[in-house]
Amino acid sequence: MSETRVTVFDTTLRDGEQAPGCSMTVEEKLRLARQLEKLGVDVIEAGFPIASDGDFAAVQAVAREVRRPRIAGLARTRPEDIDCAWEALREAARPRIHIFLATSDIHLQCKLKISRDDALRQIESAITRARGYCADVEFSPEDATRSEFAFLCRAVQAAVDAGATTINIPDTVGYTVPEEFRAIIGGLREQVRGIENVVISVHCHNDLGLAVANTLAALEAGARQVECTVNGIGERAGNAALEEIVMAMRVRHDRLAFETGVCGEEIYNTSQLLARTIAFAPQPNKAIVGANAFAHEAGIHQHGVLSNPLCYEIMTPESIGAPGNRIVLGKHSGRHALAKRYAELGYTVTGVELDAVYRGFTAMADRKKNIYDQDLVALLPRSKRAPEMAAGRAAFAG
């Protein structure tokens, strides 16, 4: 694999569905898994098999049907978890068992009630057991960014020595910041023997809004797998968003010289399929896939976009498979956008006539949030109006 090639590990079907209201049925997970394969992700974490019969069935169904990506199932260090994960994954073309155990003192003392030495023994035993089933084993020290660094190194060393092939460093509670996370990844690369023979992965949460920034910082420090979700869904404030990571690499390849196997033109379709599946659309101002990501209302912006979209769009809608940009008519719009919409409706409005219509339009826009095509026609002199106008269409160009 190229030194700049980044493995995209999608956990929409596991961590993503843990967000309140985002759970999915077996059939829904399978449909999304097929789309994730089409999108081009390298690993699909299909669920946590021991968590429920439904999760087991979903992992098993995805493992049977989706053949190109690696299919991962999550497991704690408990033997029964690992056995269950393998049972769900055994028909996969490329199975991966993903084991996790917390390494921060607050988790060890308050949640698990075990010592550090107990944790190291569990890590070694669990990975050894998982390697007896398949060659591809990932280990995650949960809450790594709040773990004492010296002990984190010991835990990762134990995992590497036991045969883990991927070491994932999770920012479980979205606590770290880019420079700190860069130092953690760099420090592990310096202090853990044999880590150069495994893939370093990162899994960042967005509690401080830094998940994508932290992920990119980790790549700069040597990580080569990113764990992410479509639309950034997941626990609490969510995960690093797949579409933001991928498009940041593409738009700023001059600073982020990495490649993925993701097909950018399938990003929008995947986002929309997830939104329909969970009835949970991304917020309108969501980067890349939000409804307003390629929408323009301000007159100065509209003029620039109409002249050349690159004035205000650093990527094209087509590059993510979106239908196109939108010129939205509202109180901030200018004459250029108004004239363009009239032209699309079949009216030529210029000069003094446009000035008069524009004055009426701005007065109306101050009173109404949404301006419709019939509103625009009503602003025209009677001599220019068509005899009929279909009602109800919002006044935008798309």
- Same structural domain for residues 222 and 333? no
Provide the CATH number for the domain around residue 255. Answer: 3.20.20.70
Quote the number of domains for the chain.
Answer: 2
Q: Over the chain, what is the mean pLDDT?
A: 92
**Is the domain of 94 the same as that of 48?**
yes
Asked if 205 and 171 touch (Cβ cutoff 8 Å), the reply is: yes
- Give residue 386's pLDDT: 56
What pLDDT score was predicted for residue 328? 72
Q: According to the model, what pLDDT value does residue 171 have? A: 98
2 domain-assigned: no
Q: What is the percent of the chain with per-residue pLDDT over 90, rounded to a whole number?
A: 74
Give yes or no: residues 154 and 255 share one domain.
yes
The predicted-structure confidence for 37-47, as pLDDT tens digits, reads as follows 999 999 999 99
What mean pLDDT is predicted for residues 141-161?
98
- For residue 388, the model assigns a pLDDT of 43
Per-residue pLDDT at 1: 59
SS (H, E, C) the chain: CCCCECEEEECCCCCHHHCCCCCCCHHHHHHHHHHHHHHCCCEEEEECHHHCHHHHHHHHHHHHHCCCCEEEEEECCCHHHHHHHHHHHCCCCCEEEEEEEECCHHHHHHHHCCCHHHHHHHHHHHHHHHHCCCCCEEEEEECHHHCCHHHHHHHHHHHHHHCCCEEEEEECCCCCCHHHHHHHHHHHHHHCCCHHHCEEEEEEECCCCCHHHHHHHHHHHCCCEEEEEHHHCCCCCCECEHHHHHHHHHHCCCCCCCECCCCHHHHHHHHHHHHHHHCCCCCCCCCCCCCCCCEECCHHHHHHHHHCHHHCCCCCHHHHCCCCCEEECCCCCCHHHHHHHHHHCCCCCCHHHHHHHHHHHHHHHHHCCCCEHHHHHHHCCHHHCCCCCCCCCECEEC
The residue range of the domain holding 142 is: 7-278
| Same domain for 142 and 21 | yes
Q: According to the model, what pLDDT value does residue 398 have?
A: 42
pLDDT in tens, 317-366: 999 999 877 767 778 888 888 888 888 888 999 998 999 888 988 898 88
| Residue 43, pLDDT score | 98
Residue 289 lies in a domain: no
Model confidence at 188: pLDDT above 80: yes
Domain closes at, from 227, 252, 278: 278
218-261 confidence digits (pLDDT tens):
999 999 999 999 999 999 999 999 999 999 999 999 999 999 99
Task: Please indicate, yes or no, whether residues 183 and 316 belong to a single structural domain of this protein.
Answer: no
In this structure, are 227 and 304 located in the same domain?
no
Q: Is 283 domain-assigned?
A: no
Same domain, 108 and 253: yes
Is residue 286, in this structure, part of any structural domain at all? no
Predicted TM-score of the model (pTM)? 0.87
Indicate whether 253 and 204 sit together in one domain: yes
175 neighbors 208 (Cβ within 8 angstroms) = yes
Given the structure tokens 């075990």, which residue do they identify?
Answer: 114
pLDDT, position 2: 74
The whole-angstrom separation of Cα 137 and Cα 131 is 7
Question: What's the pLDDT at 313?
Answer: 79
Residue 396 has pLDDT above 60, yes or no: no
pLDDT, tens digit (0-9, with 9 covering 90-100), for 285-297: 999 999 888 876 6
- Taking only the tens place, the pLDDT of each residue in 78-129 is 999 999 999 999 999 999 999 999 999 999 999 999 999 999 999 999 999 9
In percent, the amount of the chain with pLDDT more than 70 equals 94
Mean pLDDT, rounded, for 189-213: 98
Please indicate, yes or no, if residue 104 is contained in any of the structural domains: yes
- pLDDT value at 170 more than 80: yes
360 shares its domain with 270:
no
Domain boundary among 229, 244, 278: 278
- Please indicate, yes or no, if residue 285 is contained in any of the structural domains: no
Residue 267 lies in a domain: yes
Alpha carbon 363 to its chain's center: 41
| Last residue of one domain, picked from the residues 219, 246, 278 | 278
pLDDT value at position 314? 82
Least confident of 6-15, 220-229, 241-250, 386-395: 386-395
Residue 147: inside a domain, yes or no? yes
Establish how many alpha carbons lie within 13 A of residue 194's alpha carbon, considering only the half-sphere containing its beta carbon: 13
